Amino acid sequence: MSRIKTFNLPDLGEGLTEGEILAWLVKVGDTIELNQPIVEVETAKAAVEIPAKWAGQVQAIHHPEGTTVEVGTPIIAIDTDPGAGPLDTTASTTATPTGDLPTPSAASLAAVELAPAEGMIEPGLIGGVAPGGRTAVLVGYGPRTTAAKRRPRKGAVPAQAEVPAAPAPVAPQPVTPEPVRNGHGGPVPGGLVLAKPPVRKLAKDLGVDLSTLTGSGPLGSITREDVQQAASGSVAAAEPVAVTSTATSAASFGADREQRIPVKGVRKLTAENMSRSAFTAPHVTEFLTVDVTRAMKAVDRLRGRREWRDVRVSPLLLVAKAVLLAVRRHPMVNSTWAGDEIVVKEYVNLGIAAATERGLIVPNVKDAGRLSLRELADALTDLVQTAKSGRTSPAAMSGGTLTITNVGVFGVDTGTPILPPGESAILAFGAVREMPWVHKGKVKVRQVTTLGLSFDHRIIDGELGSKFLRDVGDFLADPEAALLAWT
């Protein structure tokens, strides 16, 4: 039995089929421990760190950073018994002296053993046997066994492509481009240039051809410094020409002044979900403007209490509580359209839309209706902080039943939000502003907000949607009275 084991990319979320390798946390030759994070992978839902299934020594890394890999594809080889002596040189996959990504031989590929279906890993662990005989993965329905793929790069020439020479009196001879080399002098596998996306964008903006550079980074990758150094040299040489051409040429409106951003990850998933929801569920949106002066005073009083001083209290907490209480009074709002039936859920997984650097995500608080106000505050704080740090797990974004989007943090009064797929209602909470308001027969300055409720008209009629929105507004207008009356 071979001591070299190959780790395949596991399923990282429900229905996800691929992931992009953001960063390797180990390198060839490193000694690793069981469950030690070895690679950071970005999927359509989240960026996650994947732990090692075995302890041992890294023998090979099959795909560089920036590669999009299908679920089930081998990504790393691990020697599970490095203390047993050197590997057979004809069958081992080791790092080359130059530090290049290793290219396994046919003999070494034959010696590599994939994770066994059973017997070697305890049931329930990643890669072990799950109930029903399938392979246990992080989250979802199991791995696929298809090849990795890399996004095509504009203008890239395949390493093996032959470029015919210019016409001449004699028969032209094909010219094979010299392979791209890394910073150690060795060729990069497949002729690909190793550079992170920000470096590629910088090179494109500065007009630098990455294939002409020698990288000084890890594994011969090209760094920002390499690009900037090349650009400074080329700009100095081309400066006299640039002055002449600028004076005589007209403004261009072509591709050289456009930016093309690949649609992937969170943006791709958001686009698919929003398109599917917008053209499947008939949306209706209603609005309600509410005097929330008493709710804002209640927030201030909570902050002042000794037992709440270490708790993050915001108006969103009371909005969430208002939604949960309104769902108790109108359970049909918390339901899903299932074709020939409507599934009314007795639990509320309350989604909170969060804007992150990676795009819009909607993690949810599981079974939020069972939480006390203090527990709800802690759950919301943890949810927001995790989202901002980019560490929200796919499981935290699955199974939502009803969502709140707090557009007020951007200074917006309200909106017409699109339903997350599978949900029947979403509430937009607008900015709280001081406005003139008729209060007890007199015009006074009060704190006012506008709520916007979008709902699936297949499930929720106008009457039900209006009553639900009215209850949320009543709670925010007078939280103490609503709690006494409804609980």
Q: Give the residue numbers marked as catalytic.
A: 457
Residue 88: helix, strand or coil by DSSP? coil
Q: Determine the Cα–Cα distance for residues 178 and 105; give it in Å rounded to an integer.
A: 23
Neighbours of 181 (CB within 10 A): 17
Side chain identity at 182, as an amino acid letter? Answer: N
Largest CA distance in the chain: 99
Q: Determine the Cα–Cα distance for residues 324 and 322; give it in Å rounded to an integer.
A: 6
Give φ, ψ of 354 to 5 degrees. Answer: -130, 130
Q: Determine the Cα–Cα distance for residues 188 and 181; give it in Å rounded to an integer.
A: 5
- Angle of helix 293-304 relative to helix 315-329, nearest 10 degrees, comes to 120
Side chain identity at 70, as an amino acid letter? Answer: E
Q: Determine the Cα–Cα distance for residues 110 and 6; give it in Å rounded to an integer.
A: 12
**Could you tell me the CA-to-CA distances from 152 to 66, 157, 161 in Å, in that order?**
12, 10, 15
Helix, strand and coil percent figures for the chain, each rounded to 5: 30, 25, 45
Please compute, for residue 349, the number of CA atoms within 13 A of its CA located in the half-sphere on the CB side: 19
Q: Determine the Cα–Cα distance for residues 310 and 326; give it in Å rounded to an integer.
A: 28
Chain centre distance of CA 118: 32
Q: Determine the Cα–Cα distance for residues 308 and 163; give it in Å rounded to an integer.
A: 71
